[in-house]
Amino acid sequence: QFREDGFLVLEHFFTAEECDCMRNQIQRIVAEMEVPPHCRTEFSTKEEEQLQVQGSSDYFLTSGDKIRFFFEKGVLDERGNFLIPKEKSISKIGHALHAYDPVFKQVTHSSKVQELGRKLGLERPVVVQSMYIFKQPGIGGEVTPHQDATFLHTEPLGRILGFWIALEDATLENGCLWFIPGSHTSGITRRMVRAAAGASTCVEFVGSERAYDDNQFIPLPVRKGGLVLIHGEVVHKSELNSSESSRHAFTFHVMEAKDTSWSKENWLQPTPELPFPPLYT
């Protein structure tokens, strides 16, 4: 099913207790969050906004080996001060929770995740990034149609796999994922790359996203504890959360490192402090 569709839902993969443990841990992290106003960036998936905000932000570009905070649109004034309580303003936390936080590290390398990797035939998987996504009530922004390999490019393609864990029920109302089944078989047409030195932004897009018909997408509501496997080239999106309930998720990406090269042009790069850790411990 996964190879045919490019995605797969495994219901009840994590227990309610494991989900609550992750949510409690993130509450602690947010409570201790200190982000200087000049580093507060609003997270967007729209191309122009990505280039303006994240693309010009060293805070984003150097977040691959750190735990950093990104905010929803419209929650900051022009000086970077919060217009609403900070815990309600945050869009996501990335990109190295899997490496530096004990709770998320344990989940990422849990025996059931490792066993699943082996069932999928992964020989030398490494973890390249992780994110906690909040999808705040009423303001949780839409994620436009995209392929993960646009941002995490490998040679050859087909070596990136996303693990997306619903920490609360993901519903049509609060912004569940939508997929185009089978869309992982036709390559990618757009890449986000590090810009040349001296460019006005740190990253730029090469190529353009195809136009997708809304009718091609199917929604994928998932109950709390469900795991969605996401092929690196499958097209997916999520809508604005206009409901009263949040849609928390923890997600991480692995790369099959065997016979694979990670693009030196990717925004995210392994560092001497944090080489991509092996999934299998």
pLDDT digits (tens, 9 = 90+) for 168-213: 999 999 999 999 999 999 999 999 999 887 888 888 999 999 999 9
Residues 231 and 250: their CA atoms lie apart, in Å, by: 16
Dump pLDDT digits (tens) for 59-80. 888 899 999 999 888 888 888 8
Residue 96 contacts residue 67 (beta carbons within 8 Å): yes
Residue 271 domain flag: no
Whole-angstrom distance, CA of residue 81 vs CA of residue 199: 28
pLDDT of residue 219: 98
**What's the pLDDT at 55?**
45
195 within domain boundaries: yes
Compute the distance between CA of residue 72 and CA of residue 43 in angstroms, rounded to an integer.
Answer: 6
Average pLDDT of span 43-60: 65
pLDDT of residue 51: 59
Question: What's the average model confidence in pLDDT over 39-44?
Answer: 73
Q: What is the dihedral of CA 253, 257, 262, 266, to 10 degrees?
A: 10
**Percent of the chain clearing pLDDT 70 (strictly above):** 96
3-state DSSP percent of the chain in helix, strand and coil, to 5: 25, 30, 50
Over range 225-230, report the average pLDDT: 98
2-28 pLDDT tens trace: 999 999 999 999 999 999 999 999 999
In this structure, what CATH number is given to the domain that contains residue 118?
2.60.120.620
Please compute the mean of the pLDDT values over residues 219-248 and round it to a whole number.
Answer: 97
In a domain, 278, yes or no: no
Q: Rounded to an integer, what distance in angstroms lies between the CA atom of residue 135 and that of residue 175?
A: 8
| Count of domains observed in the chain | 1
Q: Can you tell me which residue has the tokens 């810009």?
A: 195
Asked if pLDDT for residue 156 goes beyond 70, the answer is yes
The beta-strand segments (E) located in the chain are: 7-10, 67-71, 90-95, 125-133, 143-146, 154-155, 160-166, 177-179, 190-194, 203-207, 218-220, 227-231, 236-238, 249-256, 261-262
Question: Tokens standing for 97?
Answer: 């929770």
Residue 1 lies in a domain: yes
Note the pLDDT of residue 46.
Answer: 75
For residue 215, being part of any structural domain is answered with: yes
Query: Does the pLDDT value for residue 218 go beyond 70?
Result: yes
Residue 38 — very low, low, confident or very high, per pLDDT cuts 50/70/90? confident
pTM of the model: 0.94
| Residue 276 forms part of a structural domain | no
Q: Which domain holds residue 25?
A: 1-262
Residue 101 inside a domain? The answer is: yes
Mean pLDDT of all residues belonging to the chain: 93
State how far the alpha carbon of 150 is from the alpha carbons of 75, 113, 188, in Å.
28, 24, 7
Question: What was the pLDDT predicted at 53?
Answer: 55
Q: How far, CA to CA in Å, does 49 sit from each of 76, 85, 97, 204?
A: 15, 23, 25, 11
In a domain, 269, yes or no: no
CA distance 47 to 197: 20
